């Protein structure tokens, strides 16, 4: 009986020590995650990026001709072809490669003999350029479409944030420079400073084909060493288990 009591005491002591070691971790992580995703639906910022986005093959553009029933057949999706143009009809082809949606819309209106503003164009599918996200992010490590003038914070908000096991002090952007043949660049990102202190100095503005790495926290790396019976407490204390919604 004493041995059994001693086992319970040992477990209680171990649990107390573990919780003390990670006290405050969950609250800090929850605060950061909430702040990270607080304004991810900023529509105005998204519109600004779309306006500056430079189109390439094989992006898909959505054309609209509001108030012009005679040109209704020109409305709808059009894919940018290998020649850099979109086909509106047998007689009308518009240059699109290397141009913004507004520039394409203006050229389309001129080709159709319409006034500027009569043709609307938006990017429906971003297919030509990508960003690569690795490490402790929500969802799988994956390629995501490059959508223009976007920062690291913008991207992490767009993909759903960082995973519970992320090390927010270990975020990097790698720019390989494969196309121009120059040396790769590595940018360190202080995510906590960006989100909680509004310090934008390391909020890197991304370029097509950048690689974004989010490291793994020490508590996440140590988790395999924690006895199975302690893991639920460990996860809760370290904020590695998201609260039920």
- HEC readout, 20-31: HHCCCHHHHHHH
For the cut 90, the answer to whether the pLDDT of residue 8 exceeds it is: no
Model confidence pLDDT, tens digit, residues 39-73? 555 555 666 788 899 999 999 999 999 877 777 78
- Of 74, 107, 125, the residue that ends a domain is 125
Domain around 212: 21-48+128-238
Q: What is the domain-level CATH number for residue 62?
A: 3.30.1950.10
Same domain, yes or no: 31 and 138: yes
188 vs 29, higher pLDDT: 188
Q: Which of 69, 103, 125 is the last residue of a domain?
A: 125
For residue 67, being part of any structural domain is answered with: yes
8-state DSSP, 228: G
What is the biggest distance separating any 2 CA atoms in the chain, rounded to whole angstroms? 95
CB distance 238 to 22 below 8 Å: yes
Residue with tokens 């002591």: 13
CA–CA distance, 154 with 141 (Å, rounded to integer): 17
Give the per-residue pLDDT at 27. 45
Tell if the pTM clears 0.75, that is, is over it: no
Residue 134 clears pLDDT 50, i.e. is over it: yes
Strands 130-135 and 85-87: unpaired
Rounded average pLDDT over 225-241: 56
The answer to whether residues 150 and 97 belong to one domain is no
* Burial bucket for residue 217 (CB in 10 Å: 0-12, 13-18, 19+): buried
Domain total of the chain: 2
Band of residue 243 on the pLDDT scale cut at 50, 70, 90 = very low
Task: Tell which wins on pLDDT, 32 or 223.
Answer: 32
Same domain, 59 and 30: no
Write the DSSP symbol of residue 138.
S
CA separation for the pair 15, 142 (Å, rounded):
37
Contact 156, 162 (CB under 8 A): yes
CATH (domain of 174): 3.10.560.10
Whether residues 223 and 165 share a domain: the answer is yes
Tell whether the model's pLDDT for residue 229 goes beyond 80.
no
Of 46, 114, 57, the residue nearest 80 (C-alpha): 57
One domain for residues 121 and 137:
no
Same domain, 151 and 179: yes
């Amino acid at each position: 009986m004493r041995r059994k009591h001693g086992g319970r005491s040992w477990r209680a002591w171990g649990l107390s020590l573990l919780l003390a070691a990670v006290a405050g971790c969950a609250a800090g992580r929850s605060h950061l995650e909430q702040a990270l995703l607080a304004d991810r639906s900023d529509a105005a910022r998204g519109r600004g990026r779309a306006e500056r986005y430079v189109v390439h093959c094989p992006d898909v553009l959505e054309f609209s001709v509001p108030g012009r029933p005679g040109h209704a057949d020109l409305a709808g999706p059009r894919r940018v072809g290998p020649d850099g143009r979109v086909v509106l009809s047998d007689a009308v082809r518009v240059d699109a490669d290397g141009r913004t949606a507004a520039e394409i819309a203006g050229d389309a209106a001129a080709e159709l003999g319409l006034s500027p503003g009569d043709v609307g164009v938006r990017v429906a599918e971003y297919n030509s350029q990508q960003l690569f996200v690795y490490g402790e992010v929500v969802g799988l490590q994956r390629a995501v479409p490059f959508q223009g003038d976007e920062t690291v914070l913008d991207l992490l908000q767009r993909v759903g944030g960082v995973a519970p096991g992320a090390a927010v002090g270990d975020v990097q952007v790698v720019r390989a420079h494969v196309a121009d043949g120059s040396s790769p660049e590595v940018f360190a990102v202080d995510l906590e400073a960006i989100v909680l202190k509004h310090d934008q100095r390391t909020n890197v503005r991304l370029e097509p084909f950048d690689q974004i790495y989010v490291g793994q926290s020490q508590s996440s790396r140590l988790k395999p060493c924690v006895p199975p019976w302690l893991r639920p407490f460990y996860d809760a204390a370290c904020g590695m288990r998201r609260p039920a919604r």
